[in-house]
Amino acid sequence: MNQRPLSPHLGVYKFMYTMSLSILHRITGGAAAVGFLLFVWWLMALASGPAAYASAMSVLATPLAKLLLVGFTFSFVYHFCNGIRHLVWDTGRGLERAQARRSGAVVVVAALLLTAATIWFACRAFGPLALGLAP
Amino acid sequence: MSLRTPLSKVIGRGSAGEGVGHWWMQRVTAVALLPLTAWFVISLLGQPLQSYDAMRGWLGQPWVAVLTILLVFTLAWHSKLGIQVIIEDYVHGKAAKTTLLLSSTFVHVGAAVSGIFAILSLALS
């Protein structure tokens, strides 16, 4: 088992910022998977009736939950934007070094802007509770 | 001398025996999730989230329910494929890897069934 060939350890590569975008794609994917479970929990609360929904929404209004929701939002949005970049690469386009760096910058800016926009609209949809930090 | 049989060369599925199925379904679900997630987030954030009746009424509409069921199903599938790759890459012990892969499959199937059941119960009651 130990004699099998291994691909080079990550440490042998010179650091480039496109590497961190690739690693971030995996991290945000893992975080989005947890966010998906939270989404299902919210759907179940909605199906369980008004009392369950109200208590779920009050849990989501706590400062810790809001912080997590911001993280999940960024994770979904980044994974969405960078996922489009990966799908374009799958067609064989945009793989040159300069193109990959440029599309990486576009993805980071788009992800930050879309995250901010989503949070702003979410605060409006959440109602007055969302504006203060305390529930 | 090759140890591979002529049949295995022709089928070309490698040692895992399943070819590009995993890679391909990850892309298929990714493409499906682009419009589904964009539609859901934009539609959801137009609703008053604190109002139980408004949320229930919105999610219970036929087309909203169908698209959200598709969203939950596809999210669960895509997530299952992604978490599987992460486990296979970083967990090396046979027992730990198998346990985690099995747990991940169970959690994803459970989440998909729960989410779809929740939406159906809102739409059909």
Q: Is the pLDDT of residue A37 over 90?
A: yes
C-alpha span between B98 and A84 (Å, rounded): 31
Mean pLDDT of B115-123: 97
In this prediction, residue A132 carries a pLDDT of: 47
Residue A133 CB contacts under 8 Å (≥ 6 apart), including other chains: A63, A66
Domain boundaries defined on chain A: 17-130
- Residue numbers of the domain that contains B96: 20-124
A106-128 per-position pLDDT tens digit: 999 999 999 999 999 998 888 75
ipTM of predicted complex = 0.89
CATH number of the structural domain spanning residue B110: 1.20.1300.10
Q: Predicted confidence band at B7 (pLDDT cuts at 50, 70, 90)?
A: confident
pLDDT value at residue B16: 64
Residue A118, token pair as written in the block: 């989503």
Round the average pLDDT of chain B to a whole number and report it: 92
Minimum Cα–Cα distance from B47: chain A residue = A125
User: What is the pLDDT confidence band of residue B36, given thresholds at 50, 70 and 90?
Assistant: very high
Q: Best of B20, B50, B108 to disrupt the A interface by mutation (most A CBs within 10 Å)?
A: B50
How many angstroms separate the CA atoms of B31 and B35, rounded?
8
Instruction: Please write the tens of the pLDDT for every residue from B57-71.
Output: 999 999 999 999 999
Q: How many domains does chain B have?
A: 1
What per-residue confidence (pLDDT) applies to A134?
A: 41
Provide mean pLDDT across the span A61-65: 91
Query: Cα(B10)–Cα(A47) distance, rounded to whole angstroms?
Result: 51
The yes-or-no verdict on residue A66 having pLDDT over 80 is: yes
- Contact yes or no for A84 and B34 at CB 8 A: yes
List, as own/partner pairs, every contact residues B35-42 make where C-beta atoms lie below 8 angstroms and the sequence separation is at least 24, other chains included: B36/B67, B36/B70, B36/B71, B36/B74, B37/A76, B37/A80, B37/B71, B37/B75, B38/A80, B39/B67, B40/B67, B40/B68, B40/B71, B41/A118
Residue B83 in any domain: the answer is yes
Residue of chain B with shortest Cα separation from A127: B50
- Residue A120 sits at the chain B interface (C-beta within 8 Å): no
Give me the residue from A29, A44, A121 closest to B82, CB to CB. Answer: A29
B48 touches chain A (CB under 8 A): yes
The CATH code for residues A17-130 is 1.20.1300.10
Domain membership flag for residue B54: yes
Residue B7 lies in a domain: no
Q: What are the structure tokens assigned to B7, written together?
A: 């049949």
DSSP class of A94? S
CA distance, residue A113 to nearest chain B CA (Å) = 15
Does B6 fall in a domain? no
- Per-residue model confidence (pLDDT) at position A133: 42
Helix %, strand %, coil % of chain B (to 5): 80, 0, 20
What residues have CB less than 8 Å from A100, skipping those under 6 apart? A18, A94
Band (pLDDT 50/70/90 cuts) for residue A2 is: low
pLDDT band, very low/low/confident/very high, at A129 (cuts 50, 70, 90): low
Instruction: Please state, for a pLDDT cut of 70, what percent of chain A lies above it.
Output: 90
Q: Report if residue B118 sits inside a domain.
A: yes
- The minimum CA-CA distance between A99 and chain B, rounded to whole Å, is 22
Whether residue B10 lies inside any domain: the answer is no
Helix or strand or coil: residue A38?
A: helix
Q: What pLDDT is recorded for position A135?
A: 41
The answer to whether the Cβ–Cβ distance between A40 and B72 falls below 8 Å is: yes
